[in-house]
Amino acid sequence: MSGIVLDDRRFYFDDACRGRVLLLDTGEVLANASRALLHYIDDDYVWVMRDNLKNITEYIGRGADDNSSLRAAATVLAVREFWGKYRQRRLMRWGPLDRSAIALAKMLPIFHDENLFFIVAPDMPEATPEAIIPVRTSYRTFPLPERDFDLFILDVAAAGQDRLPQILLSLRPGGLLLAFLPAGSDFSRVLPNTTCLTDNAGNRLVSVRLTPELARLLREETVVGQLARQKRLIAYMLDEIGGSLGPLLASGENGPLDAAIAQASLAEDIILSVYEELLSDDIPWLANRFKESLIDYRLRRTDRLRARVFDEYRALRHDMKEYDDF
């Protein structure tokens, strides 16, 4: 059965695919850089730390959860992160307040008495351990500023899948994401360079560290994806206007024309923000000319102004397609 194994001072995970994997060597006293000053404490303290962590992993492993062995492994990996840092650390967890969260909350003050542990869950109980800062809200609406957390534990894979770039970018440089994945799921497309632990049921604990290269790629993908979505919205709005432009101008009714002007104005606002990012002045200028041509025709319905509306619309769509194969 896969799970945590303690051999002397070393914690291992019996991985279903990779065999025995080292998680933490508590004997590496000189590797400690936290406020738990193990450098200056006798050797017995290291054994106390080891036994405390052993008891905690066994406590987690006795849970009824199918992922209990992976949760115990995540706790050891989290301790390894806090073991190596002197300054205050910020930990974020998305998921229920279970045995592993409670156990980790008890360990963190050992390494720094100002470590912060945030847990986000829609159904967080009222009573929580003192070290935990509970946040009762939706995963999808929780704000994720960049460079905010040192460790992020994602225990609700489905809720976090759409926000993985944001979650990773919310880590400080060198920060670590630990994500629990049910059997059969695959985040490899959005989580490059991962390492993972697998239990006998096929469930996985994936870890990925935020390197400068990964942060750069994620920022590029986030910006490009946002721009692409905005461009599709612009195209939809303009196509909707263009598809009814002939009947609209021929009808002589003010209501539909006013609606088209409002939609063209909104499209212009979005174009200004999108193409400003792309350093293009021509397309925002053409969008403004198209909107103004609709307004002019609304005020003075002449054949010349009607022809201008069509000309400005065609010029705008043509330049957008030429600019970026829109």
Q: Residues 291-322: pLDDT tens digits?
A: 999 999 999 889 999 999 999 999 998 888 77
Residue 175's CATH number: 3.40.50.150
Among residues 162, 190, 210, the one where a domain terminates is 210
Look at strands 19-25 and 195-198 and give their pairing: unpaired
For residue 22, the enclosing domain spans: 4-210
Based on the fold, state whether residues 11 and 153 are members of the same structural domain: yes
Residue 311's CATH number: 1.20.120
User: DSSP code of 186?
Assistant: -
Among residues 183, 210, 237, the one where a domain terminates is 210
Based on the fold, state whether residues 60 and 129 are members of the same structural domain: yes
pTM of the model: 0.66
**How far does Cα 158 stand from its chain's mean position?**
12
Interval 2-49: pLDDT, tens: 488 888 888 999 999 889 999 988 777 555 655 555 433 444 444 456
Number of domains in the chain: 2
What six digits make up the tokens of 70?
């992976």
Interval 250-271: pLDDT, tens: 887 888 888 889 888 888 888 8
Positive/negative CA dihedral, 75, 218, 266, 272: positive
